[in-house]
Structures are given as C-alpha cells and as structure tokens.
Structure 1
C-alpha cells in the first residue's frame, strides 16, 4: 500500500510540474522576439490597451507555460477600475479580459 501511495504522489507531482508556469527574465525577451516566439511587447500592450481605451498599464508579466508564452497585462481605467488581460504572446490573441475585484 505504501508503494502505491508513493507512486500516486510521484505521478501527481509530475503532472503538476508540467502545468507550472515560470516568469521569463527580462534579458530573455529580445531573443524570444527575434526568434518569433513572441510578438514585441509594445504590440501586445497596444492590443490590451485597445480593449480599454484611456486606461494605463499598471503591471505586465511574461510567463512560459507548457503550451507557450502568455503575456499578462494589468490595466487601470480613468475611473479606477482594474482589468487583467491575458494574451497569447505569440499571436496576440486575447485569452482573458476580466475586471479585477
């Protein structure tokens, strides 16, 4: 029984590790853009800002997920509302656009 529990735990940890994300270091970004793995961040910022005209960018984060790169943009509108926009960093496709509560 202990062996079965140990195997189950190891399998669960392996599966979880595959779903983990890692922040991309700033010094890695130019090479990712040059190689075409991600769009330039200025272009991704424009996509996010177009969803909320007049908003300002508060924070950004580029993560390496198991299925590609995701660019997360936090925006603040003039009336103080905050929005979290997640983009596919390779295509610019909007993955999520939700108000932060």
Structure 2
C-alpha cells in the first residue's frame, strides 16, 4: 500500500509540474499582444536588456506565457565574451533575472 501511495504521489507531482511550465508564444501573436497592451514592444524590452550589459549582443530571445505573466527571456554575450541570461516581465519591463550563464 505504501508503494502504491508513493507512486500515486510521484505521478501527481509530475503532472502538476507539467502544468506549471511556460508556453512559448508564437511570433505572429506578438503584435496583437503589444496592441492590446499586454506586453511592451520587443524593441523596448531589448533596450532594457542592453542597458544592463552595454556593448553586449543579443544571441537569442523568447517570449513565454507563464500562468500569470508574459516573460521575455533573452540570452546575450557581452564585450568580454561572457554569456548572460536575462528575464523580463514583458508587460512592465521589470528585470526578473539577470545572471551569468553557466
């Protein structure tokens, strides 16, 4: 019985974790989200990121829908060739994460 309970608990946790994951926003939906005021224009969000790391180059970016917010995730390489991961709240421009990539 304990084994069955443990398996059921593990399965429930895995399903719950899957529901909490972010969902990629298709590129063709971004203009509508900007128009509706749900996110800032990506050019504006890019400027926020680049101010954090002057002279850096954006190497990748992605807009994700989390349960309650849109999150703009950016990877960049600075002038010293150091890689950074920066996440912004796409609606407000608030910096959620700014850390050196592992």
Shorter-chain TM-score tier: 0.7 to 0.9
1:23-38 alignment to 2 at 5 Å? 23-38=24-39
TM-score between the two structures when normalised by the length of structure 1: 0.87
Q: What do residues 1-42 of structure 1 show as CA deviations (whole Å, max 9, x unaligned)?
A: 498567645643442233111111100100111111110000
- The root-mean-square deviation of aligned C-alpha atoms, in Å, is 1.7
Q: What do residues 20-69 of structure 1 show as CA deviations (whole Å, max 9, x unaligned)?
A: 11111100100111111110000000000000001111110101111211
Residues matched between the structures, number: 101
Which stretch of structure 1 is more off in the superposition, 3-12 or 27-36?
A: 3-12
* Structure 1 segments unaligned to the other structure (5+ residues): none
CA distance in 2, matches of 1:83, 1:57: 9
CA distance in 1, matches of 2:10, 2:84: 37
1:19 aligns with 2:20: yes
TM-score between the two structures when normalised by the length of structure 2: 0.86
Runs of 4+ in 1 over 3 A off after TM superposition: 1-11
